[in-house]
Chains A and B, each alone.
Chain A
Amino acid sequence: MKFENLKKSRTFKRFRKNKTSVIGAALLLSFVFLAVFAPIVSPPASSDSYLIPQAGYSQEPAPPSKEHIFGTTEQQYDLFYAIVWGTRTAFKIGVMVVFVSLLLGITIGGLAGFYGGWIDEITMRFTDIILSFPGIVLAVVIVAMLGPGIEKVIIAIAAVSWPGYARLLRGDVLTVKNFDFVAASRTMGAGDFWIFIKHILPNSIYPVIIVASLDIGSIVLTAAALSFLGLGSPAGYADWGQIIAMSRNWILGTSSNPFAYWHTLLIPGTAIFLFVLSWNLIGDAFRDILDPRQQ
């Protein structure tokens, strides 16, 4: 679709009218900006740009200063650098997990709904098994088996989040496959693949997309939780969850000043909060806009 058409389209107009969606989009855009221009905003010091530079060997975090505008955290890791490059990590995890789990969920849920019978029975019981575990616990188990690392975290979270999409899509496919236009397509000689791609998916995928956009925020939270538990990225890797994990020992401050190390917790915490908030606002906006009852 050309940009001119997009500007005129009903969806775009509705999006603009919705204040929260504009705030969400603005927040998200600034994160995208930060991620794209990370090498300019905060030039990397070593060859591995995700490795946070250390400004000394002292254990104690230093407060914000001219050289380190967000201060440093445990072991003198620069917080500003960690936040900027951590944005890339957050996008990497969020988008990759959603992509992988959408692919899995759409394939499995689509096949189950479309063919029904024993395929449906087997795949849906399997999703039931995965859904019966609390997501984060199962993800911890998977990472513990695979070993730590960003890729392993992505695999683990994707493995526990696809069943939701599969179920959601299956339900809609069951409705759509009984519509007359599917039968008409069959009488024209269309094969299963054609019918699935041209008729079933376009009429059943929107709820899944909405839920997925809402999920990116919580996926980043889960990844941060895994990092906090020491199961995520390697030490010194620019990852918001790990930065919070590093501030664990400094939460209570010193005996005279309980807020002595406030920046070690508040700054990465705010970054995660705003990132999750922006996706939730966008997801809500999508839901409102694409809701068929409001058409």
Chain B
Amino acid sequence: MKKILEIKNVSKKFALRKDNFFSARKFFTAVDNVSLSLKENQTLGIVGESGSGKTTLAKLILDIEKPDSGEILIDGKDITRAKGKELKELRRQTQVIFQDPYSSLNPRMNVENIILEPLQINKIIKQEQIKILHSLLNSVGLPQNCLKKYPHEFSGGQRQRIAIARALALKPKIIIADEPISSLDVSIQAQILNLLKQIKDEMRVSYIFISHDLSAVCHISDKIAVMNKAAVVELAPAEELFKNPLHPYTQLLLNSVCDADPENKNDDIQIIQNDSNLSPSCAFAERCPLYDQKHCLSENNLSEVKKEHFVKCALSSQKKALYGDRNEN
């Protein structure tokens, strides 16, 4: 299958406010040397805690932010260096669904104008616009009589459907879903997830699905990348990652998912605080149960330990996991 998106060694730093006029400017690294790729009609899940750089990565792909270094190839063309017409064309290929359906829809535009906006911007002929509009309403499951209504007249789930329709209007190849279900009611979450799945099959789009809800990510993704402190620490096919999580951070994440069975308590999660005065190369070292001075201070790169299973920590694949073995049950 063709690679539709390739992210190569992308980094992004943000300048922090100076303490005073003379002090040196400090930086916060939001994305640190990340490389990922996405194949046609596949879903790449990105998980990680708040502040791990998931959303910044999405913004870089959408060209809302420019990376400090690295390349982002969409269909083989670098969006970070594209200009003018080429940039406009590349932007059409990636559309976004945001977490908060309240701030993602302009409250002063009605549904018709919201969904038509991308078509108007890209100057698609009027008759064509109307056709696309009605077929989009059908595919996201909105009634035809809602066109003149305003966003505040809809529930969160319906608003998210409007946002999905808008994202689909330009027939993009990649849709970035930045926590598309986290602000929705649990009963609605499944509906939206299934809608996204159905659209993927019908329109052959690829998704980048960003979430901290592991079960949702597992449900929809083909491959999952785990991010911690700006870096990808583990990358594996969804099933493999759940069965055989290697990086201690991935294990921590998986173990923090609540189980419906009250007997199955996650007692084995330990809060660990290692010596943070040393400056380890691994950002997770402070909380790592496998902490080993010699190892954590040396440079670690993402390396393939099994077929298609990449881990950033060499120790984790050698030592037995400390957070209980999920294969036991």
Binding site for B on A (CB under 8 A): 179-181, 183-190, 194, 198-199, 202-203
Contact = CB atoms under 8 A, between A and B. Distances in A.
Contacts of B50: none
Interface string B58-86: 01001110000000000000000000000
B62 A188 contact: no
A181 B166 CA distance: 11
Given A186-B91, A190-B121, 10 more contacts: A179-B103, A179-B106, A181-B105, A184-B98, A185-B121, A186-B63, A187-B94, A188-B117, A189-B122, A198-B109
27 contacts: A179-B106, A180-B100, A180-B104, A181-B106, A183-B59, A183-B62, A183-B64, A183-B96, A184-B95, A184-B96, A184-B98, A184-B104, A186-B64, A187-B62, A188-B95, A189-B88, A189-B92, A189-B118, A189-B121, A190-B121, A194-B121, A198-B109, A198-B117, A202-B108, A202-B109, A203-B107, A203-B108
Contact of B170 (A188, A198, A199, A202): A188
A27 to B, nearest CB: 31
Closest 7 CB pairs of A and B: A180-B104, A188-B118, A180-B98, A202-B108, A189-B88, A181-B106, A180-B103
A198 to B, nearest CB: 7
A187 B95 contact: yes
B100 A187 contact: no
Interface of B: 59, 62-64, 88, 91-92, 94-96, 98, 100, 103-109, 117-118, 121-122, 163, 166-167, 170
B63 A187 contact: yes
Contacts of A198: 106, 109, 117
A181 B167 CA distance: 11
A199 B121 contact: no
Given A202-B106, A203-B108, A185 B117 contact: yes
A171 to B, nearest CB: 18
Contacts of A203: 106-108
Given A187-B62, A187-B64, A198-B117, A181 B96 contact: no
A47 B72 CA distance: 73
A252 B138 CA distance: 80
A31 B170 CA distance: 52
A6 to B, nearest CB: 16
Contacts of B104: 179-181, 184
A187 B96 contact: yes
A8 to B, nearest CB: 14
A254 B121 CA distance: 74
A185 B167 CA distance: 10
A199 B106 CA distance: 7
Nearest to A203: B108
Contacts of B59: 183
Nearest to A201: B108
Contacts of A180: 98, 100, 103-104
A188 B91 contact: yes
A246 B63 CA distance: 66
Contacts of A181: 103-106
B212 to A, nearest CB: 18
Contacts of B163: 184
B206 to A, nearest CB: 15
Contacts of B96: 183-184, 187
A52 B122 CA distance: 59
Nearest to B151: A181
B208 to A, nearest CB: 13
A257 to B, nearest CB: 61
Contacts of A183: 59, 62, 64, 96, 98
B181 to A, nearest CB: 15
A179 B63 CA distance: 16
Contacts of B64: 183, 186-187
Given A180-B98, A180-B100, A183-B62, A188 B121 contact: yes
Contacts of B121: 185, 188-190, 194
Contacts of B107: 203
A4 to B, nearest CB: 15
A183 to B, nearest CB: 5
Contact of B91 (A187, A194, A202): A187
Nearest to A295: B152
A178 to B, nearest CB: 9
Which of A179, A187, A189, A190 has most B Cβ within 10 Å? A187
A115 to B, nearest CB: 16
B91 A189 contact: yes
B42 to A, nearest CB: 20
B284 to A, nearest CB: 30
